Copies of this chain bind each other. A is one copy, B any other.
Amino acid sequence: MEYLERLGRKAVEAKFVLQELTCTVKNDVLQKAADALVKETARILAANDKDYEIAVQGGMSEGLLDRLKLTAERIEGMAGGLRQIVDLEDPVGEVMEAFDRPNGLHIEKVRVPMGVIGIIYEARPNVTADAFGLCFKTGNAVILKGGKDAFYSNQAITEVIRETLAENCICADALQLITDNDRAVTTAFMQLKKYVDVLIPRGGAGLIRAVVENSTIPVIETGTGNCHIYIDEDADLQQAIPIIINAKTQRIGVCNACESLLVHEKIASRFLPALGAALQEKNVEIRGDEKVRALIPGAAEATQEDYGTEYLDYIISMKTVSSVEEAVAHINQYNTKHSDAILTENAEHAEKFLRGVDSACVYVNASTRFTDGFEFGFGAEIGISTQKLHARGPMGLKELTTYKYMIRGNGQIR
């Protein structure tokens, strides 16, 4: 498609400009973009009103309407996000390794921008500013494809940032937004391999599946989290309930929320009645195996499908197990390689769990809700990778870079 080819070519032109920018220049532009977003609040809100009205007419759910809605405060928050990125260390240019070969070649492994990053995302319009900020700070050009529900909002935010770039004599094409909402264009974008170095989908399981299936560009898969907590026979049961309640209910719609519990059968009769009551008090529906149902009044039956489901809702599945090995095996069968936790005071069991569970983040005695770039201290987050290639778990600025080898010689031949 000529439209996408043009976007791709412009992004490549921009990437060569961006990779040469100093950190000072990048920070200055990020500050100015933050100021511009606040200054243009009225313009952005007007665009957002259009999206909101269309969404209301289309019968969008309350939850999604809330995600879509911008306010002066939320725009201030977006600007604040860009200002936070200013404070982060620029990873570009870091010499990761340097070594000399016997033949005299001096080899340096140097951190460089990816080049052109594509991001496909859903409703939330703040991702537009956020994704730009992270990509820009790491010297990458970015092509965004937002959800059509936030079409006008995304366009307004993009325009404001592009104006700032142009005013500061930085190639405005450092940030481009695909404004053609035809599904075929989105699919073609996933195949713009000639220009785009990496594609990051941010959104629900359906979006991520579509990207994985259609993209010829290397993808970083993010997001889906069927997270487990295993309560070991040697768990501190006082500590267990607050952790489980936090992991399940502190925020139900997020990928690091707990969706399934495994309970050692030895503690089931002591622990499950109290746990069940605590969860039910928070309006969490419980689906469990026979032993669970016998100990928690009102618990429904859990199917195999339940064990594989990321509910993102006030529902939790529960199963009793007879050992840490059984817990690990169950988790490795049903999890999404995101975040899983063991609660135990037994160091040997903790070690088995940490080594055995195949997830990006494996916890001992803590809530799974900590799988997050900010909670990890990265100061930012572009997403949580659930694949093993390139990055795993929370991705900050470093994960938006790659490296190249710079090799200096004086006439070496083989």
Q: Is A332 an interface residue (CB 8 A)?
A: yes
- A405: min CB distance to chain B, Å: 5
Return the CB mask of A203-217 against B: 1 if under 8 Å, else 0.
000000000110010
Question: In this assembly, does A58 line the interface, its C-beta being within 8 Å of a C-beta of chain B?
Answer: no
A239 to B198, CA, bound (A): 38
A171 within 8 A of B: no
Say yes or no for A294: interface residue by CB 8 A criterion.
no
Q: Name the segment of A47-55, A130-138, A260-268, A384-392 touching the other chain.
A: A384-392
Interface of chain A residues 323 through 365 with chain B (CB within 8 A): 332, 350, 354-356, 358-365
What is the bound-complex CA distance between A236 and B366, given in angstroms? 62
Most buried by B among A367, A409, A410: A409
Quick check: is A408 within 8 A (CB to CB) of the other chain?
yes
Given known A358-B115, A388-B218, A414-B375, contact A366–B105 (CB-CB < 8 A): yes
Q: What distance in Å separates the Cβ of A345 from its nearest Cβ neighbour in chain B?
A: 10
A281 in contact (CB, < 8 A): no
Q: Are B198 and A389 touching (Cβ within 8 A)?
A: yes
Known A370-B414, A414-B370: A404·B362 in contact at CB below 8 Å? yes
Task: For the complex formed, measure the closest distance between the CB of A143 and the CB atoms of chain B, giving whole angstroms.
Answer: 15
The 8 Å CB contact of A212, one of B216, B356, B387, is B216
Chain B residue nearest in CB terms to A209: B216
Contact B360 A405 (CB under 8 A): yes
Cβ of A157 under 8 Å from chain B: no
Assess the A246–B364 pair: CB atoms within 8 A: no
Q: Is the CB of B101 within 8 A of A377?
A: yes
Which residues, 278 to 311 on A, are CB-close (under 8 Å) to B?
none
B414 touches A367 (CB 8 A): yes
Q: Copies of this chain, how many?
A: 2
Is A166 interfacial (CB-CB < 8 Å)? no
Q: Mark A249-279, 1 if CB is under 8 A from B, else 0.
A: 0100000000000000000000000000000
Residues of chain B lying within 8 A (CB to CB) of residue A371: 405
A219 within 8 A of B: yes
Cα distance A216–B404 when bound, in Å? 26
Q: Given A19-B355, A198-B388, answer yes or no on A101-B362 (Cβ-Cβ < 8 Å).
A: no
Q: Is A76 located at the chain interface by the 8 A CB criterion?
A: no
Kindly state whether residue A193 has any CB partner on chain B within 8 Å: yes
Q: Is A393 an interface residue (CB 8 A)?
A: yes
Q: Identify the interface centre among A16, A19, A114, A371: most chain B CB within 10 Å of its CB.
A: A16
- Known contacts being A212-B193, A389-B402, is A407 close to B366, with CB within 8 Å? yes
The contact sample of 27 A-B pairs, CB cut-off 8 A, is A99-B377, A101-B375, A101-B377, A115-B388, A193-B212, A198-B388, A212-B216, A218-B218, A243-B413, A246-B413, A354-B406, A360-B404, A360-B405, A361-B404, A362-B407, A363-B407, A364-B406, A365-B409, A365-B410, A365-B411, A366-B408, A366-B410, A366-B413, A371-B405, A376-B405, A388-B402, A390-B390
